[in-house]
Amino acid sequence: MTHPLATRLASLAVMLGLFLAWEAFCRFFAINPFVLPKPSEVVMALITRFPALIPHAAQTMTTTMIGFLLGATVGVFLGVVTGISRVAYQIVSPLLVSLSSIPKVALVPIFVMWFGAGSVPAVLTAFISSVFPAVVNVATGVATTEPELEHFMKALQASRGEILWFVNLPRALPYFFASLKVALRPIGASATSFCWQRQISTFRLYLRHWFCSARLASRYTQSLQFSKSDSQRGRIGAMARYSFKAGERHVPTAKSHPNRRVGLLPSSECLRW
Amino acid sequence: MPLSAPVARAIRAVPAVSKQDVVVQFDNVRLDYAGKKKRITALDASNFSIRRGEFVAFTGPSGCGKSTILKLISGIIAPSAGSIFISGREIGAMPVRIGISFQNPTLLPWLTVRRNVMMPLRIVPPFKDEFRAKKNSEFLDRANALLAQVGLSKFADHYPWQLSGGMMQRAWICRALIHDPTLLLLDEPFGALDAFTREELWGILQTLFIRHRPTVLLVTHDLNEAAFLADRIFTMTPSPGCISDESAANFARPRNLDLMRTLEFTSLTFRLRDLIADAHRNDRHEVV
């Protein structure tokens, strides 16, 4: 067995190695920083823009944590309820698994539409992305408790609550923590938060990039719809255009974009907006 | 005029053999369970009684309902017909203190051995309230004493996965005994162990039995184990399981392994073997 410190150092070395390789790659091929910034540049930006980043980081942190705690609490409760009864588990688990496979980012626009841009959709997104994994995992953990453990408790004439407290819940804990790891992808919350933070220039850049790619994607879809009638194609196209135009109004024009000549998008696409 | 339910129960609560020292009594107990097409009888027409402080073994071919008997006594499943009396009362009428052990040592993996052993004290009524009320130095001593008796003192603070199979079984026996059970139910407790460890644990179990004198019901398919440990051995026939024979093993305690070389012992085990082989053969013929 290797020394635990050695293992720690090795994992640190692997991490550092990745960043070094990344840096070397960018330098060697002279990659444009808009396409892929060097880690050193990222660190520099982090330091120089630290005061500007802090409020956003705090906002993301609080909304994520609130949503996350709510989601975990509700998730554990529902998970225990479904996990305890075999029938409930069999009835509900297909629904839960299929619901949990919905990409949570897809719900962000809906939440923004319902509750407006702000903290509520961010909290909701974090809630939704943590509640389903928690329910599914806790239910699985409780439902798959070894029958011998429950028999042992029943033979001691333990009540249902005691079996739950002493056996089912501790048994489900690893599952619960695994679900938290899955749930802690704050991507959803951050997506909502940059919708909210649109007045801040740093985030405008991201938002602009988002709409650019979305618009490109909509055109791509349009061109793929050969089988649809022209009118239908036109309608879908118009809807897509309208929605993205609506979004664009909140985005600065291309002229103010510092790096407008560069990037993954064709420059003509960028400039026409 | 039909009797009201409580009166009928009160009458039934007096067992046919109303002896003070009968701990377990089965009256025509049958157990059915729903199979794929029809109901299958796992246990049929079982009648037996077990006295206080007796060590009884059940043997028989696999699937003959040996484990079912233990599940019935521990209240995990209810009989389809007939009655089970424990200490003169019908089962479920009052709580019975039961220690139970299965073939797979199901220690809780998130607790240390000592805490695992103390688990029944947190659940079983007379201890449960004390456990909550005062912090448990008395119970700790009790657990430590039991662990010392099976030679696990050094491993009290280890977790189950750090123990070998034999050590886990020893911890299991401690856990089954810590709350002074009226009944100790052992379902093939040493089935998954190698021969040497098994013989060592027979000795430990016997020592504990002599010291604590619980009533023990041992389910096993190891005839040497049954003959070495038990006072009485029930042989069972398969599908539907019923008790076909009862043999006494009147060897003086403490028994040691040399007993197994004696003629009495070997003739007993051979007798058991023949009984089970016959039952098995008959069962085969019925199927063919």
pLDDT for position B283? 66
Cα–Cα distance, A203 to A55 (Å, whole number): 13
Rounded to a whole number, what is the distance in Å from the CA of A151 to chain B's nearest CA?
A: 6
Cα nearest neighbour of B178 on chain A: A156
- Confidence at A215, pLDDT banded by 50, 70, 90: low
Out of B75, B95, B119, closest to residue A154 by CB: B75
State the average pLDDT over residues B232-255: 82
State the average pLDDT over residues A106-115: 81
Interface test with B, best of A146, A148, A150, A152 (most B CBs within 10 A): A152
Q: Which residues of chain B neighbour A152 with C-beta distances below 8 Å? A: 100, 102, 106
**Does residue B81 carry a pLDDT above 50?**
yes
Most confidently predicted of A15-29, A158-172, B16-30: A15-29
pLDDT for position B97? 82
pLDDT for position A177? 87
Quote the distance between the C-alpha of residue B58 and its chain's center.
9
Q: Which residues of chain B neighbour A158 with C-beta distances below 8 Å? A: 123
Q: Are B176 and B106 in contact (CB under 8 A)?
A: no
- A128-137, A211-220, B186-195, B254-263, range with the lowest pLDDT: A211-220
pLDDT for position B55? 92
Interface residue A146 vs chain B (CB under 8 A): yes
pLDDT for position A74? 93
Interface residue A41 vs chain B (CB under 8 A): no
> With an 8 Å Cβ cutoff, are B110 and A170 in contact?
yes
> With an 8 Å Cβ cutoff, are B123 and A148 in contact?
no
Supply the ipTM of this predicted assembly: 0.75
Residue found under tokens 């070389």: B261
pLDDT for position B198? 84
Rounded to a whole number, what is the distance in Å from the CA of A86 to chain B's nearest CA?
A: 17
Longest Cα–Cα distance of chain B, Å, equals 66
Cα nearest neighbour of A148 on chain B: B106
Domain regions of chain A by residue span: 4-36, 50-190, 204-272
State the average pLDDT over residues A233-260: 45
> With an 8 Å Cβ cutoff, are B123 and A166 in contact?
yes
- Average pLDDT of chain B is 80
Q: Are B203 and B224 in contact (CB under 8 A)?
A: no
Q: Which residue has the higher pLDDT, B89 or A206?
A: B89
Interface test with A, best of B119, B128, B183 (most A CBs within 10 A): B119
Task: Name the residue among A102, A90, A167 with its Cα closest to residue A128.
Answer: A102
Of chain A, the percentage scoring pLDDT greater than 90 comes to 9
Cα nearest neighbour of A160 on chain B: B123
Rounded to a whole number, what is the distance in Å from the CA of A5 to chain B's nearest CA?
A: 22
Rounded to a whole number, what is the distance in Å from the CA of A174 to chain B's nearest CA?
A: 10
**Does residue A202 carry a pLDDT above 70?**
no
**Does residue A229 carry a pLDDT above 70?**
no
pLDDT for position A17? 95
pLDDT for position A260? 42
User: What residues have CB less than 8 Å from B67, skipping those under 6 apart?
Assistant: B187, B188, B219
* Amino acid (1-letter code) at residue A265: L
Instruction: Give the DSSP letter string of chain B.
Output: -PPPHHHHHHHHTS-SS--TTEEEEEEEEEEEEE-SSSEEEEEEEEEEEEETT-EEEEE-STTSSHHHHHHHHTTSS--SEEEEEETTEETTSS---EEEE-SS----TTS-HHHHHHHHHHHSHHHHHHHHHS--HHHHHHHHHHHHHTT-GGGTTS-GGGS-HHHHHHHHHHHHHTT--SEEEEESTTTTS-HHHHHHHHHHHHHHHHHH--EEEEE-S-HHHHHHH-SEEEEEETTTBEEEEEEE--PPSSP-GGGGGSHHHHHHHHHHHHHHHHHHHHHHHHH-
Task: Name the residue among A83, A190, A176, A194 with its Cα closest to residue A131.
Answer: A176
State the average pLDDT over residues A36-46: 89
> With an 8 Å Cβ cutoff, are A167 and B108 in contact?
yes
Out of B102, B104, B123, closest to residue A156 by CB: B123
- Confidence at A240, pLDDT banded by 50, 70, 90: very low
pLDDT for position B246? 83
Interface residue A169 vs chain B (CB under 8 A): no
Task: Name the residue among B218, B231, B211 with its Cα closest to residue B185.
Answer: B218
Cα–Cα distance, A118 to A108 (Å, whole number): 11
Q: A50-190 belongs to which CATH class?
A: mainly alpha
State the average pLDDT over residues A229-249: 45
Cα–Cα distance, A121 to A117 (Å, whole number): 7
Whether pTM > 0.90 for this model: the answer is no
Quote the distance between the C-alpha of residue A179 and its chain's center.
14
Interface residue A157 vs chain B (CB under 8 A): yes
Write the pLDDT tens digit of every residue in B39-75. Answer: 777 777 778 888 888 899 998 887 777 888 888 888 8
Write the pLDDT tens digit of every residue in A53-65. Answer: 888 888 878 888 8
Q: Are B217 and B184 in contact (CB under 8 A)?
A: yes
Of chain B, the percentage scoring pLDDT greater than 90 comes to 4
**Does residue B149 carry a pLDDT above 90?**
no
Distances (CA, A) of A227 to A222, A223, A224, A231, A233: 11, 10, 8, 12, 9
pLDDT for position A271? 36
A92: left (phi over 0), alpha (psi -120 to 50) or beta: alpha
Instruction: Give the DSSP letter string of B16-55.
Output: SS--TTEEEEEEEEEEEEE-SSSEEEEEEEEEEEEETT-E
Cα–Cα distance, B62 to B125 (Å, whole number): 35
User: What residues have CB less than 8 Å from A139, skipping those under 6 apart?
Assistant: A78, A79, A80, A82, A83, A89, A92, A93, A96
Q: What are phi and psi of B206, to 5 degrees?
A: -65, -45
State the average pLDDT over residues B244-248: 82
Interface test with B, best of A148, A156, A176 (most B CBs within 10 A): A156
Pairing of β B232-237 and β B242-248: antiparallel
Quote the distance between the C-alpha of residue B87 and its chain's center.
16
Two structure tokens written together for B49: 């009684």
Distances (CA, A) of B204 to A44, A219, B208, B211, B257: 69, 79, 6, 11, 12
> With an 8 Å Cβ cutoff, are B108 and A170 in contact?
yes
Two structure tokens written together for A157: 């004439």
For chains A and B, CB pairs below 8 A equal 49
Out of B100, B108, B125, closest to residue A155 by CB: B100
Instruction: Give the DSSP letter string of A190-220.
Output: HHHHHHHTTTSHHHHHHHHHHHHHHHHHHHH
**Does residue A222 carry a pLDDT above 50?**
no
State the average pLDDT over residues A201-205: 46
